[in-house]
Structure 1
Amino acid sequence: MKKHNGHSTTIIKRSARRSHSGHHGGAWKVAFADFTLAMMALFMVLWIMGASTEEERHEIVAMFYTDTLFDIFSSRDTPAGSNTLPLFDPAGSPLPVARATTAPAPEPETPQAREARSQREIEELARLIAQITSVYNAQSNLHIEIVPQGLRILITDDQQREMFQRSSAILAPFFQRLLGEFAPALNTIEHKIMITGHTDATRYRDQQRYNNWNLSGDRALQARQVLTDAGLNEQRIVQVSGMADQMLFHPEDPHHAANRRIEIMVLTHSASEALYQFFGHHGQNVVRPIIENLSLVTE
């Protein structure tokens, strides 16, 4: 304080205080760790879904819906007379576990019931194939028939779309996608499948080098390859064949576009059994009796 001319002057000095950031806790680290863990779990789920097949994904989902040991037994105490066997954890306390029980064997299905079930499955498959065809707007290229032998699916050419390039077994992209959609539908039932290729009456100039028999067979094989690549079980296909122009769809017009077709025949159980009886199961019903008869003749 200074005095000037009898007046006193007060001088106040203000010192600037340094600002210090408040103390931050570790809560943000916990939140960041939770976020990182959640992202890692998300990437793991996406990776598993991408790397596993559809059947494996169904098995994984089924595992989450099954009861675990701790869901079944919420208490460690085993009641007297219960049908359990004790297990021991590291602490030495018993854990009850259910005794395995044998489920009663299902009654054998009668041939009539099996055939009725087969017919219902084929009818449902026909509806599913029709829905796929409608989505692709391919009704003019598809004909579906339910016949006594099973479900007959005809995929044909028309004036707007050709299934194969002319005189070749190269499948057009549109029909390749359509057949690929059929594969999961065909997998929904366990019936055997026949694939047959057909051509119109147009012939090659050099019948010795390549003809309609070769072409129809190659087209049937190409259809089989597309179906199996799309997921159809190979064991379901019992026959792949070519019939050239011997079974025309429009016999009154041998060169009609619809004569160029692929037929997928989904056989009933009785029809597939009849086929096996004709060819024999791995040949034992056909080849072996012939060999035995020949041996008797030579003797």
Structure 2
Amino acid sequence: MMDDGAKPIIVKRIKKYAAGHHGGAWKIAYADFVTAMMAFFLLMWLLGSTSKGDLNGISEFFKTPLKVAMQGGSGSGDSSSIIKGGGKDLSRQDGQVNAGGVDTAKKSFNLSAAKAALEKEETQRLQTLKERIQSKIENSAALQKFKDQLLLDFTSEGLRIQIVDEQNRPMFPAGKADLQQYTREILEEIAPVLNDVPNRIGLTGHTDSTPYFSETGYSNWELSADRANASRRALVQGGMQDNKIIRVVGLASAAHLDRKDPFNPINRRISIIVMNKKTEENLMRDAGRIEVGTDTEATRDAAARGAQATGAPATK
């Protein structure tokens, strides 16, 4: 039994709490920092051990990578590149490894010789076409009787096939652009042969010097152009590809075949030109050329005269 005069005993219990766990995020950040520093020092070491010429080559490669890759030069996989050899085997020291075995040495090309070779090949192709048409004329019953009206020769534009009139066998009725049936047969026989070459086609209509003029202003110019276009339609109907034709013109009586006799029936003709590449390129380039604002001497003089007439200052 407790004495009434004794002091009570007080027991204090202190609860201890352990510090929270910090986790491992700092380790990841530190590892990234160390990796970045290693990469930085490696870059500095590489830059310090590379010559100035190689550095310029690397700089040019990243400026125009396609140009350097196609034309070659420093930084394009040669042995002087900062990464020796390149390719799959980085231990190579003597240039990029080429699994295809293609000779990567720089080569020079003679453009004039290549152009001459292409022209020679094209001339041979047109010569072969001429021989095929001549053979077809000799062996075709439909064409043999008209062989005197079919003229084949070469001009500066290419192979020219001319269908000319005869006194008693005109290709068209007088003053009209309607094809005679035998003219249509000639064109339909020739049409498939023209598909055998990639060359483009031009058609030109001609008349003789016989005056022709209607009350509506229809003249030999319109007549020759309409006859050329009628011939184009007959060629397409005969099987020639329509997209091969890039020129259909009428020259009326401006370019006679017989200059001594402007009324000779052979001056009335249709010319089919199988164009060479040079003629085709010139035609397409000139057709697509538009010159705007060309400051030539003639335009400056015209501007000066106009300014004097109006009192305005001339522009220079």
Q: TM-score, normalised by structure 1?
A: 0.58
Instruction: For residues 103-159 of structure 1, give each alpha carbon's deviation from its aligned partner in whole angstroms, at most 9, with x where no partner exists.
Output: x9xxx9932222111111100111121123222221210111023321011100012
Asked if 1:201 corresponds to 2:209, the answer is: yes
Q: Give the Cα–Cα distance (whole angstroms) in 2 for the partners of residues 263 and 152 of structure 1.
A: 7
Alignment-derived partner of residue 123 in structure 1? 127
Gaps of 5+ in 2: 1-99, 103-108, 301-314
Alignment-derived partner of residue 182 in structure 2? 174
Report the structure, 1 or 2, having the larger strand content: 1
Alignment-derived partner of residue 261 in structure 1? 269
Give 1 or 2 for the bigger CA radius of gyration.
2
Alignment-derived partner of residue 165 in structure 2? 157
Alignment-derived partner of residue 49 in structure 1? none
Instruction: For residues 182-241 of structure 1, give each alpha carbon's deviation from its aligned partner in whole angstroms, at most 9, with x where no partner exists.
Output: 111100001111100000111224364311001000000000011111121122111000
Taking structure 1 as reference, are residues 161 and 113 closer, same or farther at Cα in structure 2, changes over 3 Å only? same
Taking structure 1 as reference, are residues 248 and 207 closer, same or farther at Cα in structure 2, changes over 3 Å only? farther
Alignment-derived partner of residue 238 in structure 2? 230
SS at 1:291 equivalent: coil
SS at 2:272 equivalent: strand
SS at 1:293 equivalent: coil
Structure 1 segments of 4+ aligned residues over 6 angstroms from their partners: 296-299
What is the number of residues matched between the two proteins?
Answer: 188
Opposite residue 240 of structure 2, the aligned amino acid is: L
Identity %: 31
Q: Give the Cα–Cα distance (whole angstroms) in 1 for the partners of residues 215 and 209 of structure 2.
A: 13
Q: Give the Cα–Cα distance (whole angstroms) in 1 for the partners of residues 248 and 173 of structure 2.
A: 20
Q: Give the Cα–Cα distance (whole angstroms) in 2 for the partners of residues 197 and 148 of structure 1.
A: 18
SS at 1:124 equivalent: helix
Gaps of 5+ in 1: 1-101
Instruction: For residues 2-55 of structure 1, give each alpha carbon's deviation from its aligned partner in whole angstroms, at most 9, with x where no partner exists.
Output: xxxxxxxxxxxxxxxxxxxxxxxxxxxxxxxxxxxxxxxxxxxxxxxxxxxxxx
1:146 aligned to which of 154, 160, 185: 154
Relative CO higher for 1 or 2, CA cutoff 8 Å, sep ≥ 6? Answer: 1
Opposite residue 128 of structure 2, the aligned amino acid is: E
Q: For the Cα contact (< 8 Å) 2:165–2:268, is it kept in 1?
A: yes
